[in-house]
Amino acid sequence: MNQHKTMISNFLISMPCKFILFSIVVFTSLLFSCNSNTIESHETMENPVGLPMSTILGACEDEHFIYDRAKINPRGKWSPMGIYGGFLSPDGTKISVGNAIGEVQLWDFETLNTLCEMNGHSQMVSTTLFSPDSKILITGSSDSTARLWNTTTCENIQTFRDHNDIVFTTLYSNSGRYFLSTSDDGSVIVYDSKTYDIIHQLKHEAGQYFAWFSDNDQYVISGGHDYKMTLWDMDTGEKVKEFIGHKGPIYCMVISSDGKYVISGSGDFSAKLWSMETGECIRTFCGHKDEIYVAMFSPDEKSILTSSGDHSIRKWDIQTGNEILRFNGHTGLICTMHNHSSGKYLLSAGQDGTCKIWDIHTGEILRSRKW
The 10 Å Cβ neighbour count of residue 35 is: 10
Nearest to 210 by CA among 266, 165, 164: 266
What band does 77 get if pLDDT is binned at 50, 70 and 90?
low
Q: What pTM did the predictor assign?
A: 0.85
CA dist 115 and 139 (Å) reads: 17
- The answer to whether residue 140 scores a pLDDT higher than 80 is yes
pLDDT confidence of residue 30: 30
Longest dimension (CA), the chain: 56
In terms of C-beta density within 10 A (0-12 exposed, 13-18 middle, 19 or more buried), how is residue 59 classed?
buried
Instruction: Give SS3 for 72.
Output: helix
Number of H helices, E strands in the chain: 1, 31
Contact 13, 78 (CB under 8 A): yes
pLDDT of the residue at 62: 87
Number of other residues whose CB lies within 10 A of the CB of residue 92 = 16
Q: What is the mean pLDDT of residues 233-244?
A: 97
The kind and range of the H/E element at 70 are: helix 69-72
CB atoms within 10 A of CB 39: 16
pLDDT tens digit string along 17-52?
A: 222 222 222 222 333 334 332 223 233 333 332 334
The mean pLDDT value of the chain amounts to 86
pLDDT for 3: 45
pLDDT single digits (tens) 188-220: 999 999 999 999 999 999 999 999 999 999 999
- Per-residue pLDDT, 210: 97
The SS3 assignment for 138 reads: strand
The tens digit of pLDDT for each residue in 287-325 reads: 999 999 999 999 999 999 999 999 999 999 999 999 999
Q: Which fold has domain 6-370?
A: Methylamine Dehydrogenase; Chain H (2.130.10)
Pair 308, 292: CB distance under 8 Å = yes
Q: What pLDDT does residue 54 have?
A: 58
Determine phi and psi for 180, rounding to 5 degrees.
-140, 165
